[in-house]
C-alpha cells in the first residue's frame, strides 16, 4: 500500500513508518522538522526508517508543513492510508504559544482531512491524546468521560477529533482517532519526564519531580501503539470512532522516579520543584472499547518498559544523551 505518515520524523511517527516499511508498504514521510527538540534526533529517526527498506518497503521524506495545502494535495495523490501524527507537541509549550499549536494541530488537521476527502483515501488514522479529558470526573477515563482539557494542546487535539468525526459523518471519509496515554520507549522525545529521570540518574544527578509526585500516568509502550496503528492499515472495525490507547497499569510520578533511580543509582536523593502549568493531575485509560472493536491488548507493563528503555538508553548514549550531544 501507499502510506503517508505526517510527522514521520518524530518519535511515534517514525516508529509507525519503520514498522510499515518493514512489512512491505511504500511510505512517504512529511515533516516540517520543527526544532521543538534537537533536530539531530529527528534525523536519527529518519535513518531508522530508511534502514528498514531492505525488508521490502520503500520510504521517501518530504520536508514540508501539513498547513501547506498545495503540498498536501500532491502528497496525498495516490495514497491509500494516512497516519496523521504531525502536531506541535507538548502541554507546556502550548501554554506558551497557543496560536502556534492551533495552527499546526487544528488548521493542519483540517487541511489534511479535506485533502484526504478529495483524494478518496481509504482511511485517516489520527493521533489524539489523553489531554482532551482534563480533570477527571472519574477514573479510569472511558471515551464517554467529559472532555474539559486544561491546556491549549488538549483543546487543539479535541478540535481535531471533532473534525475527523464530522468528515466521517458528513463526507464518508473513514477516520479513527486514537487517544494516546503518555507514550514512551526508544527514541522518545528527550523532554519527557521519563527521559529526564533516566538522564539525570545516569549522570549521577538527582531526578527532579515537579509537584509532589502524586500525579499518576498511564504510560504506554511504543510497541503497543505501533501495533494498533499497523492493524488499522486494513481493519475498518473502528471507522468513525475515538479510542483510548493506554497500557495495562498506571504509576505515580514519585514511584516512577524511584523505580528509575533504584535501577540506575540507588544512592541518589530525589528533588522536588514547583508543579508545571497545564499538566493533568491524573491519567488512567479504560481501553475496553479498543479491545472490543479491534482486539487491542497492550502487552508491555510499566516496569518492564522502564527496564527496556533504560537498557536502550545506555546502549545509545553516544547520540541520544543530551549531555553527550552537548559536549
Q: All 3 cell numbers of residue 120?
A: 478518496
pLDDT mean over 306-317: 95
The continuous run of DSSP H or E covering 315 comes out as helix 302-315
Q: What digits encode the pLDDT tens for the residues 131-151?
A: 999 989 999 999 999 999 999
Tell me if 317 is assigned to some domain.
Answer: no
CATH code of the domain in which 238 resides: 3.40.50.720
Instruction: Report the alpha-carbon angle 172-175-179, nearest 5.
Output: 150
What's the rounded mean pLDDT across residues 231-237?
Answer: 95
Is the pLDDT reported for residue 91 higher than 90?
no
Residue 170 has pLDDT above 90, yes or no: yes
In a domain, residue 212? The reply is no
Domain carrying residue 163: 2-181+222-246+285-299
**Residue 269 has which C-alpha cell?**
536523593
146, three cell numbers:
467529559
With cut-offs at 50, 70 and 90, classify the pLDDT of residue 55. Answer: low
Query: Which residues are tagged catalytic?
Result: 153
97 inside domain: yes
- Once rounded to an integer, what is the mean pLDDT over residues 234-244? 96
Of 247, 240, 252, 312, whose CA–CA distance to 281 is shortest?
A: 252
- Distance CA(87)–CA(85), nearest Å, equals 6
- The reply to whether 214 falls in a domain is no
Q: Does residue 290 lie within any of the structural domains?
A: yes
* Residue 162 counted as domain residue: yes
Mean pLDDT of 8-18: 97
Contact of 101 with 88, CB cutoff 8 Å: yes
Number of domains composing the chain: 1
Query: Rounded to 5 degrees, what are φ and ψ at 76?
Result: -80, -20
- Please tell me what DSSP assigns to residue 282: B
**Cell 520510504 sits on residue:** 59
Write down the pLDDT at residue 208.
Answer: 94
Least confident of 36-40, 68-72, 293-297: 36-40
**33, part of any domain:** yes
Q: Is 28 helix (H, G, I), strand (E, B) or coil?
A: strand
Yes or no: say if 284 and 218 are a contact pair by the CB < 8 Å rule.
yes
Q: Tell me if 40 is assigned to some domain.
A: yes
Amino acid at each position: 500500500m501507499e502510506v503517508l505518515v505526517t510527522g514521520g520524523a518524530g518519535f511515534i511517527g517514525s516508529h509507525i513508518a519503520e514498522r510499515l516499511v518493514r512489512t512491505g508498504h511504500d511510505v512517504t514521510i512529511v515533516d516540517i522538522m520543527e526544532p521543538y527538540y534537537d533536530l539531530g534526533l529527528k534525523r536519527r529517526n529518519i535513518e531508522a526508517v530508511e534502514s528498514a527498506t531492505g525488508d521490502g518497503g520503500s520510504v521517501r521524506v518530504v520536508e514540508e508543513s501539513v498547513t501547506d495545502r498545495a503540498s498536501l494535495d500532491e502528497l496525498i495523490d495516490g495514497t491509500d492510508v494516512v497516519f496523521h501524527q504531525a502536531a506541535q507537541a507538548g502541554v507546556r509549550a502550548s501554554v506558551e504559544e497557543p496560536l502556534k499549536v492551533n495552527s499546526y494541530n487544528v488548521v493542519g488537521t483540517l487541511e489534511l482531512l479535506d485533502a484526504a476527502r478529495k483524494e478518496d483515501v481509504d482511511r485517516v488514522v489520527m493521533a489524539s491524546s489523553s489531554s482532551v479529558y482534563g480533570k477527571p470526573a472519574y477514573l479510569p477515563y472511558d471515551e464517554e468521560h467529559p472532555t474539559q482539557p486544561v491546556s491549549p494542546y488538549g483543546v487543539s487535539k479535541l478540535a481535531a477529533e471533532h473534525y475527523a468525526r464530522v468528515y466521517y459523518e458528513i463526507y464518508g471519509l473513514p477516520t479513527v482517532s486514537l487517544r494516546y496515554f503518555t507514550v514512551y520507549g526508544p527514541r522518545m522525545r528527550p523532554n519527557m519526564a521519563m527521559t529526564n529521570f533516566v538522564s539525570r540518574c545516569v549522570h549521577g544527578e538527582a531526578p527532579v519531580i515537579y509537584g509532589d509526585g502524586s500525579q499518576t500516568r498511564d504510560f504506554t509502550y511504543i510497541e503497543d501503539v505501533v501495533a494498533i496503528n499497523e492493524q488499522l492499515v486494513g481493519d475498518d472495525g473502528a471507522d468513525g470512532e475515538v479510542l483510548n490507547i493506554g497500557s495495562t497499569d498506571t504509576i505515580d510520578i514519585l514511584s516512577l522516579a524511584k523505580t528509575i533511580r533504584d535501577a540506575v543509582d540507588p544512592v541518589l536523593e530525589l528533588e522536588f520543584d514547583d508543579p508545571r502549568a497545564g499538566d493533568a493531575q491524573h491519567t488512567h485509560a479504560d481501553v475496553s472499547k479498543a479491545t472490543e472493536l479491534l482486539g487491542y491488548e497492550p502487552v508491555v507493563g510499566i516496569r518492564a518498559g522502564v527496564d527496556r528503555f533504560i537498557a536502550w538508553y545506555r546502549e545509545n548514549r553516544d547520540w541520544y544523551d543530551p549531555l553527550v550531544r552537548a559536549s
